[in-house]
Structure 1
Amino acid sequence: MSPVRRAFHIELPRPLRQALHSLETQGGVCRVVGGSVRDALLGIAPKDFDVEVYGLELENIAKALAPLGKTDLVGKAFAVVKLWTHGEEYDFAIPRRESKTGSGHRGFTIEANAHLSEFEAIQRRDFTINALLYDHSKGEVIDYAGGLEDLSNGILRHVSPAFEEDPLRVLRAMQFAGRFKLELHDETAELCRRIGHEYWTLAKERIWLEWQKWASKSKSLAHGMRALEKSGWICYFPELNALRGLPQDPLWHPEGDAWTHTLHCLDALIRETDWLELTESQRAPLAFGVLCHDLGKARCTRWALKRGEKHWISPGHDNQSVWLAEQFFESMRSPLEIREKVMTLVGNHHFLNTAPDEGHSDASIRRLSKRLAPATTRQLVYVMKSDHLGRPPLVSEAQTARIAKFEERIRELDLVESAPAPLLLGRHLVSRGLKPGPGFKRILDQAYDAQLGGSFRNVEEAEAWLEKNWNKLNC
Structure 2
Amino acid sequence: MTRARVPAGVTEGGQFATGARAEAALTLSAPVRVPAQVPVSPAAARALDAIAAAGGRGYLVGGCVRDSLLRPGAAPKDVDIEAYGLEPGDLARALDGVGRVDEVGKAFSVLTVRTGGQSLDVALPRREVRTGPGHRDFAIEVDPYVDLATASGRRDFTINALMFDPASGELVDCWGGLDDLRAGVLRHTTPAFAEDPLRVLRGARFAARFDLTMHPDTVALARDLAPEFASLSTERVWGEWSTMAATAKHPSRWLDVLAQTGWLRHFPELDVLRGISQDRRWHPEGDVFEHSRLAADAGARLADEAGLDGPDRAAIVLAAMLHDVGKATHTQCDGDRITSHGHDEFGEPIAKTFLSRIGAPRHVADLVGPLVRNHMVSTTVAQPSMSTVRRLARRLAPATMQQWALVVGADRGGRGPASEPGNTGRWLELAQRAGTEQRPVRPILGGDILRAAGWAPGPSFGPVIKAAIAAQDDGAFADADGARAWLAATYPGGQPSA
1:59 maps to: 89
State the SS of the aligned residue for 2:444. Answer: coil
Gaps of 5+ in 2: 1-28
Deviates more, 1:432-441 or 1:409-418: 432-441
Aligned residues: 463
Gaps of 5+ in 1: none
Q: Does 1:181 align with 2:248?
A: no
Alpha-carbon RMSD: 2.2
Query: Deviation at 1:145?
Result: 1.1
2:483 maps to: 462
Conserved? CA contact 2:278–2:286, under 8 Å:
yes
1:201 to 222, 231, 239: 231
Structure 2 vs 1, CA of residues 24 and 274 (structure 1 numbering), >3 Å: closer, same or farther? closer
State the SS of the aligned residue for 1:2. Answer: coil
Give the letter for the 1:418 counterpart: R
Structure 2 vs 1, CA of residues 389 and 84 (structure 1 numbering), >3 Å: closer, same or farther? closer
1:371 maps to: 395
Q: TM-score, normalised by structure 2?
A: 0.88
Conserved? CA contact 2:412–2:422, under 8 Å:
no
In structure 2, distance between residues paired with 1:58 and 1:71? 13
In structure 2, distance between residues paired with 1:325 and 1:339? 8
Q: Does 1:191 align with 2:221?
A: yes
Aligned 1:278-317 pairs, distance under 5 A? 278-304=308-334, 310-317=336-343
Give the letter for the 1:463 counterpart: R
Deviates more, 1:237-246 or 1:224-233: 224-233
Q: Does 1:19 align with 2:47?
A: yes
Q: Does 1:388 align with 2:388?
A: no
Conserved? CA contact 2:280–2:286, under 8 Å:
yes
* TM-superposition CA deviations, 1:41-97 (whole Å, max 9, x none): 122431221111111110111111222223244422112233233343322211102
In structure 2, distance between residues paired with 1:143 and 1:403? 50
Query: Deviation at 1:402?
Result: 4.1
State the SS of the aligned residue for 2:435. Answer: coil
In structure 1, distance between residues paired with 2:82 and 2:303? 41
In structure 1, distance between residues paired with 2:454 and 2:329? 52
Aligned 1:137-286 pairs, distance under 5 A? 137-271=167-301, 274-275=304-305, 277-286=307-316
In structure 2, distance between residues paired with 1:372 and 1:72? 44
1:10 maps to: 38
Query: Deviation at 1:200?
Result: 0.3
2:429 maps to: 408
In structure 2, distance between residues paired with 1:60 and 1:178? 40
Structure 2 vs 1, CA of residues 66 and 185 (structure 1 numbering), >3 Å: closer, same or farther? same
In structure 2, distance between residues paired with 1:401 and 1:200? 39
Deviates more, 1:431-440 or 1:4-13: 431-440
Structure 2 vs 1, CA of residues 313 and 369 (structure 1 numbering), >3 Å: closer, same or farther? same
Identity level (%): 39
In structure 2, distance between residues paired with 1:455 and 1:179? 49
2:157 maps to: 127
Conserved? CA contact 1:184–1:230, under 8 Å:
no
Give the letter for the 1:345 counterpart: L
State the SS of the aligned residue for 1:111. Answer: strand
2:439 maps to: 418
Query: Deviation at 1:174?
Result: 1.5
Query: Deviation at 1:439?
Result: 3.2
Give the letter for the 1:450 counterpart: A
Query: Deviation at 1:450?
Result: 1.0
In structure 2, distance between residues paired with 1:218 and 1:326? 22
In structure 2, distance between residues paired with 1:76 and 1:164? 23
2:69 maps to: 41
1:328 maps to: 354
Q: Does 1:429 align with 2:450?
A: yes
In structure 2, distance between residues paired with 1:12 and 1:23? 15
Q: Does 1:346 align with 2:376?
A: no
Structure 2 vs 1, CA of residues 401 and 200 (structure 1 numbering), >3 Å: closer, same or farther? closer
Give the letter for the 2:482 counterpart: E
Query: Deviation at 1:272?
Result: 5.1
Deviates more, 1:454-463 or 1:28-37: 454-463
Q: TM-score, normalised by structure 1?
A: 0.92
Deviates more, 1:30-39 or 1:108-117: 108-117
Give the letter for the 2:473 counterpart: L
